[in-house]
């Protein structure tokens, strides 16, 4: 019998009708009751919190990180399943993965339809997540949704309401679940795990700003003025903006702000191609760290993790570069 602990956090998978819309209010036992448990799997429940995932804070996510580590402190546990709202699942999954060095799996899942929906997807997703958690090892943190097994890194929500909600736009799934079996096709690329932040660790502010036609650095500079210790610049194309943004990045970095550069394009890596007009070449020269294929939400998590793990600006930058690009592809570009 494989012992799987289910940590519940709310989300659509725990949501019921409130009269004018849905909200998370179901306890873990109600959520798990929606699923058929695979043969040979025994489950236990940790009700951590019940929150609609757009309302999650860094404090919530760190509480989840510590809860998972506490569960895995018991060597008789074979794996962990986390039920989570889909809106910010990609962020929590990546945070967990950056701090996960145990060969036992941590699998996140959720639902696109509420708990009591006749055509709900909670049952299938939970079954697949439990089976995956009982079957694999040394793959890090995974997201299991609609019969697909995804690595935490790079996997984002691609559909607002469709059942097959998650994908990594730049990579194929790690595997799939079907006919009562988990089929693994590739091993995810991962970094050496970070230490779990102390309970009393400072929670740094990290903001995101998107470039667009007519954009200026006003909001970027407002984030710095508001006390952000990190800013994610979401560029156009392969990671481009304007000379004014390059100047703003240079000033922010000089004041110890950690700046990450990603792109609003769904797939592909940030690549330094254009110079002289605020392109990625200029932004990186100004001190922005290219984030490879990490998109905005996960780039922010990487900045947050780097800030919480490194005591000074130089270490922060080196840590962020490693978290963004474990294979060294961007550095070689």
Q: Whole-angstrom Cα distance, residue 85 to residue 140?
A: 20
Output the 3-class SS for 53-111. HHHCCHHHHHHHHHHHHHHHCCCCCCEEEEECCCCCHHHHHHHHHHCCCCCCCEEEECC
Is 86 known to be catalytic? no
Q: What is the rounded distance in angstroms from the CA atom of residue 158 to the CA atom of residue 37?
A: 28
For residues 8 and 4, what is the distance between their CA atoms, to the nearest angstrom? 13
Structural tokens at position 29: 């036992």
Among candidate residues 123, 73, 129, the one with its CA nearest the CA of residue 105: 129
Residue 125: which residues within 8 A CB-CB, separation 6 or more? 13, 109, 110, 111, 144, 145, 146
Angstrom distance (rounded) from CA 124 to CA 122: 6
Active site residue: 12, 132, 262, 293, which one?
Answer: 12
What burial class does residue 180 get, using C-beta atoms within 10 Å of its C-beta: 0-12 exposed, 13-18 middle, 19+ buried? Answer: exposed
Decide: 206 and 304 in contact? Cβ < 8 Å: yes
Distance CA 233, CA 236 (A): 10
Residues with catalytic roles? 12
């Amino acid at each position: 019998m494989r012992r799987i602990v289910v940590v519940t956090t709310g989300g659509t998978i725990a949501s019921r009708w409130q009269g004018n819309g849905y909200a998370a209010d179901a306890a873990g036992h109600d959520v798990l009751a929606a699923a058929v448990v695979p043969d040979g799997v025994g489950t236990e429940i940790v009700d951590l919190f019940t929150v609609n995932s757009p309302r999650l804070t860094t404090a919530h996510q760190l509480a989840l990180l510590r809860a998972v580590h506490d569960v895995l402190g018991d060597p008789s546990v074979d794996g962990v399943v986390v039920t989570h709202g889909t809106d910010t699942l990609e962020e929590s999954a990546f945070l967990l993965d950056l701090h996960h060095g145990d060969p036992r799996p941590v699998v996140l899942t959720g639902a696109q339809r509420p708990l009591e929906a006749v055509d709900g997807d909670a049952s299938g997703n939970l079954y697949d997540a439990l089976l995956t958690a009982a079957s694999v090892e040394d793959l890090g943190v995974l997201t299991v949704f609609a019969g697909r097994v995804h690595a935490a890194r790079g996997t984002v929500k691609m559909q607002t309401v469709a059942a097959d909600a998650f994908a990594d736009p730049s990579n194929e799934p790690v595997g799939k679940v079907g006919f009562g079996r988990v089929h693994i096709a590739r091993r995810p690329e991962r970094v050496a795990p970070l230490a779990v932040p102390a309970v009393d660790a400072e929670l740094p502010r990290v903001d995101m700003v998107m470039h667009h036609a007519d954009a200026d650095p006003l909001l970027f500079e407002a984030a710095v003025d508001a006390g952000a210790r990190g800013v994610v610049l979401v560029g156009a194309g392969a990671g481009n903006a304007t000379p004014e943004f390059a100047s703003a990045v240079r000033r922010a970095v000089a004041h110890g702000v950690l700046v990450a550069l990603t792109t609003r394009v769904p797939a592909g890596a940030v690549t330094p191609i254009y110079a002289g007009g605020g392109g990625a070449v200029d932004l990186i020269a100004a001190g922005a760290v290219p984030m490879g294929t990490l998109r905005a939400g996960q780039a922010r998590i990487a900045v947050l993790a780097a800030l919480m793990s490194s005591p000074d600006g130089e270490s922060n930058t080196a840590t962020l570069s490693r978290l963004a690009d474990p294979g060294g592809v961007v550095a070689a570009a």
